[in-house]
Amino acid sequence: MLKFLFKYWKWIGGVVICLGFYAMGNWIPINALRPEIKQEQREYYTLLNSILYTFITLCAVLVALFKDDFREYWKCPKVVFLNPKNSTIEITEEEDSSGLGDAVIQATKYITRIEVQNIGNLPAINCEVYLDKLEFREKNSSIYQFIETTGIPMEWNANGIKSIIIPPGGKKLIHLVEINAPTKLSLPNDPQTHQPPTLIIGGIKNRGEDTKGTWLATFTLYSQNHRPTDFQLEIEWNGVWKKRLMEMASQFKVEITGNKK
C-alpha cells in the first residue's frame, strides 16, 4: 500500500486538491464574500480601476524603453581604490663602496603603488589612469602652486600597458609615486658632483626648487563602461634620502585623502 502511495503520490495529490476545490465551490457561500458596492460608489471604484490600469501601462512602457538603464543599477562595474599591504616598496641592489668586497644592500628607488579593485558584477573595460592635477606647497607655507601635467595615461604596474580590463573581483596595481636615489655625475672639472634624489609623481619630476614640502596629486580613472572616478594623494617629503625603507619612512609619507574604500 505504501509503495503504491509513493509511486502515485502526484496523481493522488491532484485528485485530493480537485475534490477540495469542488467541496469549497459547493459548500462555502462564495456570494457571501462578495463585497456590496452601492450605486454612488461605482463611479469611485471605476475611476480607481482606470488609474490603476493607467499606472500599470505606464510602468510597462517605461520598462520597455529604459530596461537597459534600469539593469545598470544591478549589473555594472564598480571601481574602488585600496592601499595594498605594502603600499611603498624599495628596489635594492648590492654596492661595495669600500672596495673590500663587503657588499651592502641599499635602495636605488622607492615606489608607492595603489590597488584598483572592481567590486561590481561586470568587467571594467579600457581602464586608464591619468594625473589630472598636481599642486605643491613649500614647507612652512600655506600657498599651493599648480604644476602642469602631461595628459598621458599611466602604465599599469610599470609594465608598459596603459589600458586594461579589470574583471569582477579583480585587483590591479598601478605605480603612482617614486623617489630615485642620488647619483654621482662624472664631470671633468668636478668628479664629486652629485645629482640629488628625484621625486616623480605620475610621470612628473619635481622641479629643482621643489624639494621640501607637500604635493597634492589628483588622479582619475576613466573606463568605457564606468563613470570617471578620482582619488587624491597627499605626498610629504623633506628632500632627504635614506638607503633603506625603514629609515626612509620617517622622511617620506603618502596618504590617500579622497575616494577610497
What pLDDT, in 10s, does the model give residues 44-101?
A: 777 778 888 888 888 888 888 877 766 666 788 999 998 888 889 999 887 655 555 5
Distance CA 235, CA 252 (A): 8
How many Cβ atoms from other residues are within 10 Å of residue 254's Cβ? 21
In sequence order, what are the beta bridge partners of 113? 175
Distance CA 213, CA 239 (A): 8
The DSSP code for 239 is S
User: To the nearest whole number, what is the mean pLDDT of the chain?
Assistant: 82
Whether the per-residue pLDDT at 34 is higher than 60: the answer is yes
Torsion-angle region of 9 (φ positive above 0: left; ψ -120 to 50: alpha; else: beta): alpha
- The helix or strand, by DSSP H or E, that contains position 243, with its residue range, turns out to be none
Domain boundaries, the chain: 37-74, 79-258
Whether the per-residue pLDDT at 7 is higher than 80: the answer is no
Quick: pLDDT tens for 180-215.
988 876 555 655 667 888 899 998 988 766 678 999
What is the residue whose three cell numbers read 462578495?
Answer: 34
pTM (two decimals): 0.68
Of residues 18 and 134, the one with the higher pLDDT is 134
Q: Rg for the chain (alpha carbons), in Å?
A: 35
